[in-house]
Amino acid sequence: MTVDSGRLNHVKVRNRAPGAAPSPDQASVVDTLHGHSVPDPYRWLESADSPETLRWLEERAREFHREAVGWPLRERLAARIRALVATDLWSPPVHRPGAVFATLRPSGSEHPRLVVTPDDAGAPASTARPRTVYDPCEEDPSGRTTLDAWEPSPDGALVAVQTSSGGVEHGRLRVIRAADGAPVGPTVPRVRYSHVAWWPGEERSFFYVRRDGAQGVRGVWLRRVSDGAETLVHACTAPGTVPGVTVLGDGRLLVTESHGTGHRTDLWVGDLVAGPPSAPDLRPLQVGHEAETEARLGPDGLLYLRTTLGAPRRRICAAHPDRPEPEHWREVVAEDAGATLDAFCPQPGTGGAGPALVVVRTRLGISEVTVHDAASGVLRYRVEPPGEGMVSSPTPAPDGTIHMGYADVSTQQRVLRLTPGASAPTLWPPHEDQAPPTPRVERTVVWCRSQDGTRVPVTVFDATDRSGPGPLLLHAYGGFGRPRQFGFSATVLAWLLSGGRYAVAHVRGGGDAGRRWHLDGSGRNKPRAVEDLVAAADHLVDTGWCARGQLCLSGGSAGGLLVLAAATARPDLCAAVIASAPLADMVRFERMGLGRMWTREFGSTTDPDDFAALISYSPYHRALENSLRTPGLGHPSVLLTGFSGDTRTDAAHPRKMCAALLAAGRHERGRPPALLRYERDVGHGPRSVGRAVALAADAHAFAAHRTGLTGC
């Protein structure tokens, strides 16, 4: 590659690509990066509310609705998905003196609400009806407001709640009284998913984080409830870091900085008792190591650390808070070579046994739960979840009980209660009706070989008795070191019950095989993740799970990038693609949404070698190149979804990608090669149940129509 000084230059060119033209006076753009010309004819679509973009979006909306009315399963899928989510949905509870807090989404409600029930003197749970503390639908009947996070004060009298509206994820943090929901003190504006940790002192104060510097210095702040007075406790000085804060049960403050996207965590611990909480003496626990670490306080006063330091699939170490540095760590639970250690929770000892650690591992999407002796790490016993699924959020109660979420492909999220010494968890709340019988879904793991010879696992789910090929959705994510876990999705279950198959490719870039698996598919290695997905698709066709014309790729966010990259690299790969809120323009991703925070995951165009990798798989540029090389090239049918409030990936990505595909592809029987389903007043994250059902039904009705799925 010829490399210049690295400066970015651009010139305007008077050529308009076909398929999605701007206004007559609009000019295309060609950038020069490291000596290479990079055309960007749809730069104008980055202006979300310009007259040209709004006119273009109106035309895309008309195209989508003309197509969608002809999808036979659209209404039936929506009805089936609505029926599958029509259950009460609880979060694991958080205990405070005399009270138990949780979120509850009652059947038929649009959003979860924060509720509280009495905690009857150590009884497992109260049979009293839950009382609502905060309901976003009551505050905003339009359904645009979501409850993003909450944390009760140590005495349970106050609750810090974070809400946002329109999907933009820049919300507000406020304190309300648990007794009546009345506000206390001034509101913190423009907070994005802040950690909140209450100071256990007499004065009502809490620690919180500013992640993006929109309202002052990024870092950890101490805020007084009564008047909003604030003090900066810890500033983030390194670019691209995300702060975090926790108050440990022994009066210590834990401050964290995540560098980029989980490649590395720095941690400090400080004593809140020895000095003023506004200026704790923060001592390094782990700083400067390329490792991801999480710390929790055990009932024995030790810090327990879930870490990738010396263990790509994670292990648990113990450290004394007064000697927290890595050289003083002691390994307690060793790394498992075949499973990633995703969560853990310390548990006090009972019946003469010392403290324990409840450990949750994931093996190819399925959770395993074990209980270990906290001192020696010796396995005491295995916990038997209700089925093959996902265990999440182990949360301790004062009596040593651990509550955790559980879901699987055919079982809606429920909360399990694990008492000390028990291997069989029970349902929480205990007065809830038992869940109805779940349909039978078969799980099969197959293996394919990627282009470089690496064996890549693929999990296939099937609820049919079909022996031959059939319509199949192939999902992939492959980003940020996140393993694929098989929880509940009403959309997936509706697809399976309609006669389709569903598969997940555990491609590199995800965390399915630990930290090494992540790094092998991130940064300049990201093309390997694309190759893994292509190999998985070919293998499913070659081994008879589906025919080429029955295959639809599906992915969202970083997974949307992956499926679009695979489809533009191999236009013959599949019949259809669903890309939800995807990344697509990998030359300009750093300038959109949170892209500036993701350079450790994808690289940066300021580096010539990173740029070479990014441009090699960037779906937007691949589509533009295809249109120049082979005008009218037949790509798979693509459905893109975009949301005007998306502050993560930014809706400019699906807008520009749709325009490029319209220019690159050909209309068959009047059908456009790409459709854009664009929504306003929602974003990348949670939304009301009604809007979520409509989106899921539309996407999978599109897949059904393109792959020949007819049953429901």
pLDDT digits 0-9 by tens, 131-190: 999 999 999 999 999 999 999 999 999 999 999 998 887 889 999 999 999 999 999 998
> Residue 187 belongs to what H/E stretch?
strand 183-191
Token digits for 644?
Answer: 């005007």
pLDDT at 35 over 50: yes
Q: Same domain, yes or no, for 237 and 211?
A: yes
> Is residue 548 in some structural domain?
yes
284 with 330, same domain?
Answer: no
pTM for the whole structure: 0.91
Torsion, Cα 206 210 211 212, to 10 degrees, reads: 170
- In the sheet with 171-177, reading across from the earlier edge strand, the strands are 145-152, 158-165, 171-177, 183-191
Average pLDDT, the chain: 90
Residue 609 has pLDDT above 70, yes or no: yes
Lowest mean pLDDT among 5-9, 505-509, 640-644: 5-9
Spatial CB neighbours of 422, under 8 Å, sequence gap ≥ 6: none
Domain boundary among 272, 290, 308: 290
Per cent of the chain over pLDDT 90 is 77
Asked whether residue 82 is assigned to any structural domain, the reply reads: no
- For residue 228, the enclosing domain spans 194-290
Per-residue pLDDT, averaged over 632-659, amounts to 91
What pLDDT is attached to residue 263?
Answer: 75
Going by their DSSP bridges, the two strands 196-198 and 293-297 should be labelled as: unpaired
Round to whole Å and give the CA distance between 493 and 385. 20
Whether 569 and 692 share a structural domain: yes
Average pLDDT over residues 331-353: 92
Q: What is the pLDDT of residue 8?
A: 35
Query: Within a domain: residue 45?
Result: no
Tell which of 157, 188, 219 closes a domain: 188
What pLDDT, on a 0 to 100 scale, did the predictor assign at position 201? 76
CATH number for the domain spanning 698: value is: 3.40.50.1820
| 523 and 410, same domain (yes or no) | no
468, 462 contact by CB (below 8 A): no
Domain termination site, one of 270, 290, 310: 290
Tokens of 279: 């200026």
**Cα–Cα dist 577/580, whole Å:** 10
Look up residue 295 and give its two tokens.
């710390």
Going by C-alpha positions, the residue among 306, 322, 193, 189 that lies closest to residue 250 is 322
pLDDT value of residue 436: 59
Rounded distance between C-alpha atoms, residue 25 and residue 538, angstroms = 45
Interatomic CA distance for residues 386 and 416, integer angstroms: 9
Task: Give the torsion through C-alpha atoms of 190, 195, 201, 202, to 10 deg.
Answer: 40
- Cα–Cα dist 425/423, whole Å: 6
pLDDT class for 28, splitting at 50, 70, 90?
A: confident
Q: Is 125 helix (H, G, I), strand (E, B) or coil?
A: coil
Q: Of the candidates 241, 285, 291, which has an alpha carbon nearest to the alpha carbon of residue 263?
A: 291
Q: Distance (Å, rounded) from C-alpha 140 to C-alpha 190?
A: 18
> Is residue 620 domain-shared with residue 477, that is, in the same domain?
yes
Q: In 230-384, which ranges are E strands?
A: 230-235, 241-247, 252-259, 264-271, 283-286, 293-297, 303-307, 315-319, 330-333, 340-347, 356-363, 366-373, 379-383
Could you tell me the CA-to-CA distances from 572 to 548, 639, 675 in Å, in that order?
8, 16, 19
Are both 284 and 395 inside the same structural domain? no
For residues 178 and 144, state if they share a domain.
Answer: yes
Q: Any bridge partners for residue 576, and if so which? A: 552, 637
- Res. 712: pLDDT tops 80: no
Going 687 to 690 to 693 to 695, the CA torsion angle's sign is negative
Bond preceding residue 429 cis, omega within 30 of 0: yes
- Report the C-alpha gap between 48 and 42 in whole angstroms: 12
Render pLDDT for 673-695 as a digit per residue (tens, 0 to 9): 999 999 998 888 888 899 999 99
Average pLDDT of span 655-666: 89
Return the minimum-mean-pLDDT range out of 10-19, 60-69, 221-230, 285-294. 10-19
Contact (CB, 8 A) for 242 and 211: yes
Instruction: Tell me if 182 is assigned to some domain.
Output: yes
pLDDT on residue 331: 98
Distance between CA atoms of residues 494 and 219, nearest Å: 43
pLDDT at 438: 77
Can you give the pLDDT at residue 60?
Answer: 97
Report if residue 66 sits inside a domain: no
For the cut 60, the answer to whether the pLDDT of residue 521 exceeds it is yes
What is the per-residue pLDDT across 355-378, written as a single tens digit (0 to 9) for each? 999 999 999 999 999 999 999 999
Judge whether 426 lies within some domain: yes
Q: What is the pLDDT of residue 667?
A: 62
36 domain-assigned: no
Domain count, the chain: 4
Mean pLDDT of 657-676: 84
Are 484 and 595 found together in one domain?
yes
What share of the chain has pLDDT > 70, as a percent?
91
686 plus 577 within the same structural domain = yes
Tokens of 612: 């070479």
Is the confidence at residue 257, as pLDDT, over 60? yes
User: In 506-584, which ranges are E strands?
Assistant: 551-556, 576-580
Residue 255 lies in a domain: yes
pLDDT of residue 125: 47
List the structure tokens of 133: 């503390």
94-121 pLDDT, tens digit per residue, is: 999 999 999 999 999 999 999 999 985 4
Residues 251 and 370 in one domain: no
Cα first-last separation, the chain = 53
Query: Where does the pLDDT of residue 655 fall: very low under 50, low under 70, confident under 90, or very high at 90 and above?
Result: very high
Q: Give yes or no: residues 559 and 635 share one domain.
A: yes
**CATH number for the domain including 329?**
2.130.10.120
Alpha-carbon span 436 to 463, nearest angstrom: 18
| Four-residue CA torsion sign, 170, 101, 244, 196 | positive
Same domain, 449 and 397: no
Please compute the mean of the pLDDT values over residues 583-604 and round it to a whole number. Answer: 94
- The tens digit of pLDDT for each residue in 196-230 reads 999 987 679 999 998 876 567 889 999 999 999 99
CA 183 to chain centre: 31
